[in-house]
């Protein structure tokens, strides 16, 4: 254990000892979410989590919104129950994986080369395991949190949260009564500037989402005949325009603050009119940060026709749209202008953008916990290019942050781990996260 590891009120050796095993065991439970209800669901993972929490005296509840779509929620009583509670949430579903593409089977939870490998290793069964490890250790050693902590292990985040966070917020809001702040995924990970400085990115904002189906109607006919109203051709033109279009530069509060911090750390001057110059110096995380200076709309699926000699009467495409906080209306106006009047938009799933300030006692607790375990740490705000279950919890008036702390090797392509092949998390990073989370809970 590193010097100073463990909060002053007690060590977390038990949590560090079991966190990799908990992560491995969660990965071995296949919770692939295909987005169409065809996957195995999260029931197996929910039962595993509930069992681990019950072993240390808690009474977790499993909530099944549809067959197999299960989430777990439990409240851990704090020392001062008059204070507002803290929500710590994570999801147990994962995106699918093709085993033939991987070094190790994506559902084996293999521990090799100092890492736990498998689908969900960073998105986000690592955080689930860290939270379980911390809380199990605290309860085994009789260390109550300073205030109530609500733990939520959720279904369906990878498809928008309809069967998980959104269901619980709409149908069971009393579970989160009294909670005014929350931490969840995709924040608290390190970016190494040099041996003396590591930036830890705390998510204070995330883009809104608009998953959409684009439809063009044309004139059906025989493939051997001339047809000037071909739906495939018209849709292809629109998709090409969209793929080539660059939305205008927009620097939100969180993005500007992050770029100023990065520029200071790297010793370069930030040009607000050309932030990409600074972003290019960020290595692998440039893909995440680069997507937060503009709205985006990426075509992801195409579909049309049923026979080679039949011109179909309709062509469709799916697009993953993401808009920055404060720029939703602009996003749709520009999107429709690019697509043109022949394209009809149909919503598949949509949700809001979020942004909060990088200040307050909770932020101070994050920064202090990181600094205590890594003297080279500097906590900085950033905007996530994707979305999380925070969108649902924000509807309850909860202030949400991304904070799943990991100290990462400087050469690890962390951004590439999300939904990528050979997803893995360093075992030392998991242990670091356990220590940081334990300190954080004591300080907040």
- The tens digit of pLDDT for each residue in 30-56 reads 999 999 989 999 999 999 999 999 999
Question: Among 351, 368, 383, where does a domain finish?
Answer: 351
Note whether 222 and 268 are same-domain residues.
yes
Question: Among 296, 318, 351, where does a domain finish?
Answer: 351
Tokens 């860290």 label which residue? 130
Note whether 336 and 371 are same-domain residues.
no
200: three-class secondary structure by DSSP: strand
Note whether 157 and 189 are same-domain residues.
yes
Rounded to two decimals, the pTM is 0.92
199 occurs within a structural domain = no
Question: In the structure, what pLDDT confidence band is assigned to residue 2 with cuts at 50, 70 and 90?
Answer: very low
pLDDT of residue 328: 97
Average pLDDT, the chain: 94
For 408-427, how does the pLDDT look when each residue is reduced to its tens digit (9 = 90+)?
Answer: 999 888 888 888 999 999 99
DSSP 50: H
420 occurs within a structural domain = yes
For 61-73, how does the pLDDT look when each residue is reduced to its tens digit (9 = 90+)?
Answer: 999 999 999 999 9
Note whether 58 and 184 are same-domain residues.
yes
Q: What is the CA radius of gyration of the chain?
A: 23
Question: In the structure, what pLDDT confidence band is assigned to residue 8 with cuts at 50, 70 and 90?
Answer: very low
- Report the alpha-carbon distance of residue 74 to residue 423 in Å, rounded: 29
Note whether 391 and 376 are same-domain residues.
yes
387 occurs within a structural domain = yes
7 occurs within a structural domain = no
- Report the alpha-carbon distance of residue 301 to residue 348 in Å, rounded: 13
- Whether residue 374 contacts residue 5, with contact meaning beta carbons closer than 8 Å, is answered with no
Tokens 């904002």 label which residue? 205
- Whether residue 162 contacts residue 171, with contact meaning beta carbons closer than 8 Å, is answered with no
Note whether 347 and 416 are same-domain residues.
no
Of 301, 344, 297, the closest CA to residue 322 belongs to 297
- Report the alpha-carbon distance of residue 151 to residue 76 in Å, rounded: 8
Average pLDDT for residues 279-304, to the nearest whole number?
92
- Report the alpha-carbon distance of residue 47 to residue 59 in Å, rounded: 12
201 occurs within a structural domain = no
Note whether 358 and 423 are same-domain residues.
yes
Give 200 or 11, the one with higher predicted confidence: 200
3 occurs within a structural domain = no
Note whether 34 and 110 are same-domain residues.
yes
Note whether 225 and 292 are same-domain residues.
yes
Backbone angles phi, psi at 3, to 5 degrees: -55, 130
Of 79, 66, 97, 82, the closest CA to residue 164 belongs to 66
pLDDT of residue 354 exceeding 60? yes
Note whether 402 and 270 are same-domain residues.
no
DSSP 283: G
Note whether 173 and 26 are same-domain residues.
yes
- Report the alpha-carbon distance of residue 107 to residue 127 in Å, rounded: 17
Say how many domains are in the chain: 2
200 occurs within a structural domain = no
Of 437, 260, 431, the closest CA to residue 366 belongs to 437
- Whether residue 178 contacts residue 148, with contact meaning beta carbons closer than 8 Å, is answered with yes
Calculate what percentage of the chain has a pLDDT beyond 70.
97
Of 241, 188, 209, 161, the closest CA to residue 324 belongs to 209
Q: Give me the domain span that covers residue 308.
A: 206-351
pLDDT of residue 285: 85
- Report the alpha-carbon distance of residue 180 to residue 163 in Å, rounded: 23
- Whether residue 428 contacts residue 408, with contact meaning beta carbons closer than 8 Å, is answered with no
pLDDT of residue 210 exceeding 60? yes
Question: Among 351, 381, 409, where does a domain finish?
Answer: 351
Note whether 210 and 334 are same-domain residues.
yes
């Amino acid at each position: 254990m590193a010097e100073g590891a463990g909060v002053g009120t007690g060590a977390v050796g038990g949590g560090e000892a079991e966190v990799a095993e908990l992560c491995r065991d969660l990965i071995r439970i296949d919770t692939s979410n295909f987005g169409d209800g065809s996957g195995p669901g999260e029931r197996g993972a929910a039962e595993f989590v509930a069992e681990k929490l019950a072993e240390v005296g808690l009474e977790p509840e499993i909530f099944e919104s549809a067959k197999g779509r299960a989430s777990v929620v439990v409240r851990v009583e704090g020392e001062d129950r008059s204070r507002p509670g803290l929500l710590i949430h994570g999801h147990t579903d994962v995106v699918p994986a093709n085993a033939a593409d991987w070094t190790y089977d994506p559902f084996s939870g293999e521990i090799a080369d100092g890492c736990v490998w498998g689908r969900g290793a960073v998105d986000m069964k690592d955080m689930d395991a860290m939270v379980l490890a911390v809380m199990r250790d605290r309860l085994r050693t009789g260390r109550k949190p300073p205030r109530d902590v609500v733990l939520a292990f959720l279904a369906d985040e990878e498809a928008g949260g309809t069967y998980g966070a959104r269901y619980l917020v709409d149908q069971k809001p009393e579970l989160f009564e009294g909670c005014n702040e929350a931490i969840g995924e995709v924040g608290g990970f390190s970016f190494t500037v040099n041996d003396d400085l590591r930036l830890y990115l705390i998510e204070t904002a995330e883009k809104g989402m608009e998953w959409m189906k684009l439809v063009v109607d044309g004139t059906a006919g025989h493939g051997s005949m001339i047809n000037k109203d071909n739906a495939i051709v018209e849709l292809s033109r629109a998709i090409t325009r969209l793929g080539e279009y660059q939305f205008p530069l927009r620097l939100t509060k969180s993005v500007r603050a992050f770029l100023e911090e990065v520029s200071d750390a790297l010793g370069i001057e930030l040009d607000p009119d050309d932030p990409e110059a600074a972003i290019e110096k960020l290595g692998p995380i440039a893909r995440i940060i680069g997507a937060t200076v503009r709205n985006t709309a990426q075509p992801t699926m195409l579909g049309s026709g049923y026979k080679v000699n039949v011109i179909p009467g309709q062509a469709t495409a799916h697009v993953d749209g993401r808009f920055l906080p404060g720029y939703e209306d602009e996003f749709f106006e520009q999107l429709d202008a690019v697509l043109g009047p022949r394209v009809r938009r149909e919503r598949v799933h949509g949700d809001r953008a979020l942004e909060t300030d990088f200040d307050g006692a909770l932020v101070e607790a994050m920064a202090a916990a990181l600094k205590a375990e890594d003297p080279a740490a500097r906590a900085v705000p950033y905007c996530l290019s994707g979305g999380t279950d925070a969108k649902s919890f924000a509807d309850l008036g909860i202030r949400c942050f991304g904070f799943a702390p990991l100290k990462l090797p400087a050469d690890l392509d962390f951004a590439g781990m999300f939904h990528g092949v050979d997803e893995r998390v360093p075992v030392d990073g998991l242990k670091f996260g356990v220590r940081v989370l334990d300190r954080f809970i004591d300080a907040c």
